[in-house]
Amino acid sequence: MVGNLLLSSIAVYGALFGLNYALISLGFTLVFGVSRVLNLAYGALYMVTAYMVYLFAVEWRWEILLAALLAIGISVLVGAAVFLLFSRYAPDPMRFLLGTLLTALLLQYLFSYFFQGEVGLVIPGLAPTQSLLVLGVSVSPVFLLSALVSLALLALLWAWIEWRPYGRVIRAAAEDPETASLFGIHPARVYLVVVLVSSAIIGVAAVLLVPAGVVTPTMWVEPFVIAFVVAVVGGLGKYQWTLPAAFLISFSQMAVLYLTPYDISDIVAFVVAIAFIVLRPQGMGGGNHRGL
Amino acid sequence: MLLEVSDLSAGYLGSSVLEHVSLRVERGITLVLGPNGAGKSTLIRSVAGTLRPVAGSLRLDGVPLETLRAHQVALQGVATSPERARLFTDLKVVDNLRLGADLARRRGEAVDWEKTLATIFRIFPGLPPILSQRAGQLSGGQQQAVAIARALAAQPRLLLLDEPTTGLHPVLVRDLLGRIQEIAKDLPVLLTEQNALQTIPLAREVHLLEAGRIVLSGPPERFLADDRVRRAYLGEGAEPPPLTEPPPAAEG
Ligand SMILES: Nc1ncnc2c1ncn2[C@@H]1O[C@H](COP(=O)(O)OP(=O)(O)OP(=O)(O)O)[C@@H](O)[C@H]1O
Ligand SMILES: [Mg+2]
């Protein structure tokens, strides 16, 4: 007999973690879906944002909201610069992948050089710190706020791409850039717009989530791994499947955590992803077809 | 409106395909005939800007196109129905058409969407019932019709059609060619085809492209009378269709 508290823990934490995984993964999947490149510097933007918030809000003592907005702005600039650099000078997918991975490592060493000795920095958040009770389960407002923002961004992004005229342009450029160019669309510009949006999303994720953890030079790995695992499960590039994939992972993790004696959430996530790679390589979204 | 192609050479990664191609496209149908691999699509791509020519010039009313990229050529008012239609298969038919209209808007044209649709439906009466279908689910003939309609929705100054009748039933071919002829009444159309018999009589000017070179150019009468053309493209001893035959009626 499974207790009610156990079930509500699985439900509440499964939903919260899922939404937060989706927030972290959304931009990565979207960029791949539209421009067919794996941007391994994606997780580094999370780190850039976190360090900038630390610099502005802690070292320079700016207002946290101002610091957060500026940090997101810098994430967008760095994201655009990295994308432009490699899509111009190393455009084939393998070189792009290697170039962006090296960029992530470079940023890691840069931050550990400039913030040396300051291990495990803490940044202030936008949410209150007092825990709340949801369905009888204690929840940190940090995760609640980021989950709500995630839901809002998922809905906004979906509406933009499916319903707005520019969404039509994005879908056309994603499916067939050459034919899109016959209709006055400059695919490189569309890719850049999508990179700007995705860099802003991962910046928002960092501003909301990092206050629950610490800022370190290797912190870029975790969001990157989450984004990668969610992308594999949902189907690389199928941004609509980000949330279902994130939920599959988060609910599997919570089920194992609460229904078995094992605390192996990371292992569960990788087992799910590897099962997909082997049994359903196209992911939940399906199809090898190019496009969103 | 006039497109002048002068001394155009083009190819892929060092292998040259088109050599010294010159032709003019004015109102009506300018037809480029040629066998598989002759370079018809290469010509269309060079004009549309998806392939940068190696040498020669392309002038649209005097404006040089050869240095422009495809999206810039489109913004000059050139619309294309590419080989095998290339619809955006994930999008609904209506959204494919809207992408055409988007191009007209981006060029600063006033777009009356209802009027655009009405014009398209007059030419392609089969479209209204399939508007909300995903373009990937259409038959080959429907795809060709949508591809041409999508280009028309761009209110082009010049229309490029790359083998629009490929894979169509002979009756549909006649039907589609009739519609293209109607479109070409107010628009310069560059049409590539292999189907000489049915297309020559519709053209204002015909060019025969073989192995990347134009080997014969002239008005339809000359083509239908030319022995070589008759042997190789119309079937030996074939009677050319009379030029006085009325164009096939656009049904519906
Ligand atoms: N992307 C490409 N890369 C390299 N060579 C190409 C490419 N596309 C076409 N070619 C070559 O260019 C030549 C002309 O091809 P093109 O597609 O222009 O012919 P076509 O007249 O349109 O033929 P078809 O009637 O079969 O469509 C062919 O020899 C072909 O092999
Ligand atoms: Mg061809």
Residue A41 has pLDDT above 90, yes or no: yes
Contact A176/B70, CB-based, under 8 Å? no
Put simply, whether B89 touches A (Cβ < 8 Å) is: yes
Domains of chain B by start residue, with CATH? 1-77+158-252 (3.40.50.300), 89-156 (no CATH)
Is-contact A29 A238, C-beta < 8 A? Answer: yes
Task: Residue count of chain A, please give it.
Answer: 292
pLDDT of B5: 98
* pLDDT of res. A129: 84
pLDDT of residue B89: 96
Measured from the CA of B194, which atom of ligand 1 is nearest? 25
- pLDDT over threshold 60, residue A31: yes
Q: Report if residue A158 sits inside a domain.
A: yes
Kindly state whether residue A91 falls inside one of the protein's structural domains. Answer: yes
The answer to whether the Cβ–Cβ distance between B74 and A172 falls below 8 Å is no
Please report the pLDDT score of residue B168 as a whole number: 86
In a domain? residue A39: yes
- With a 6 A CB cut-off, is B156 part of the ligand 1 pocket? no
| A197 pLDDT above the threshold of 50 | yes
Residue A88 in this model has a pLDDT that exceeds 60: yes
Angle at A239 between CA A67 and CA A215, to 5 degrees: 30
Distances (CA, A) of A138 to A6, A235, A260: 12, 33, 20
Alpha-carbon separation of residue B98 from A66, A167, A174, B62, B103 (angstroms):
40, 12, 17, 29, 9
Q: How far apart are CA A245 and CA A228, in angstroms?
A: 11
Q: What are phi and psi of A236, to 5 degrees?
A: -55, 120
* Minimum mean pLDDT range among A12-16, A267-271, B9-13, B233-237: B233-237
Amino acid letter, B162: D
- A216 lies in a domain? yes
Is residue A290 one of the residues assigned to a domain? no
pLDDT of residue B78: 98
Report whether pLDDT(A228) > 90. yes
Ligand 1 pocket: which of B41, B160, B195, B210 to mutate (most atoms within 8 A of CB): B41
Q: CB contact, 8 Å: B137 with chain A?
A: no
CB B80 within 8 A of CB B48: yes
Helix (H) or strand (E) run with residue B243 in it: none
Q: How many angstroms does the Cα of residue B38 sit away from the middle of ligand 2?
A: 8
Distance, CA of B137 to CA of B134 (rounded, Å): 6
B99 with A292: Cβ contact below 8 A: no
> 3-state class of A204 per DSSP?
helix
| Three-class secondary structure of residue B208 per DSSP | strand
> Cα(B108)–Cα(B101) distance, rounded to whole angstroms?
11
Report pLDDT for B252: 41
CA pair distance A208, B53, nearest whole angstrom: 51
Return residues 188-217 of B near A (CB < 8 Å). Answer: none
> Which residue, B137, B131, B167, B163, is CA-closest to B150?
B131
pLDDT (tens digit, 9 = 90+) per residue, A163-180? 999 999 999 999 999 999
What is the extent of the structural domain holding A169? 4-113+122-279
Q: Tell me the β-bridge partners of B86.
A: none
Q: In whole angstroms, give the CA distance from residue A209 to residue A68.
A: 12
Tell me, yes or no, whether A284 lies in a domain: no
Find, among A171, A169, A199, A185, the residue nearest to A291 by Cα.
Answer: A171
Cβ–ligand 1 distance for B36 under 6 Å, the answer yes
Does residue A143 lie in a domain region? yes
Residues in A closer than 8 angstroms to B82, CB to CB, are 179, 182
CA of B51 to the centre of ligand 1 (A): 12
Q: Do B70 and A182 touch (CB under 8 A)?
A: yes
Residue to probe by mutation, ligand 1, list B12, B51, B83, B166, most atoms within 8 Å of CB:
B12
* Chain A residue at shortest CA distance from B47: A182
CA of B44 from ligand 1 middle (Å) equals 11
Residue A88 in tokens: 């111009």
ipTM of the complex as predicted? 0.92
Which alpha helices (DSSP H) does chain A contain, by range? 4-35, 42-53, 64-89, 93-114, 141-163, 165-175, 177-181, 187-209, 221-234, 242-259, 265-279
Q: Which residue in A100, A91, A103 sits closest to A36, CA to CA?
A: A91
Is the alpha carbon torsion for A74, A78, A81, A87 positive or negative?
Answer: negative
Query: Average pLDDT over chain A, rounded to whole?
Result: 95
User: How open is the CA angle B47-B51-B179, to the nearest 5 degrees?
Assistant: 40
Domains in chain A, number: 1
Q: β-strands B205-210, B28-33: how paired?
A: parallel
Q: Is residue A253 part of a domain?
A: yes
pLDDT tens for each residue of A100-141:
999 999 999 999 999 876 678 999 999 998 999 999 999 999
Q: Is B52 on the interface with A (CB under 8 A)?
A: no
* Contact: A176, B88; criterion CB under 8 Å: yes
Does the predicted TM-score (pTM) go above 0.90?
yes
User: Nearest CB to A168: which of B70, B99, B150?
Assistant: B99
CA–CA separation, A93 vs B21, rounded Å? 36
Which ligand 1 atom is at minimum distance from the Cα of B42? 18
> For each of chain B's 252 residues, which pLDDT tens digit applies?
699 999 999 999 979 999 999 999 999 999 999 999 999 999 999 999 999 999 999 999 999 999 999 999 999 999 999 999 999 999 999 999 999 999 999 999 999 999 999 999 999 999 999 999 999 999 999 999 999 999 999 999 999 999 999 988 888 899 999 999 999 999 999 999 999 989 999 999 999 999 999 999 999 999 988 888 888 777 755 555 566 555 555 554
Q: What is the CATH number of the domain that holds A66?
A: 1.10.3470
Residue of A nearest to B100 (CA): A183
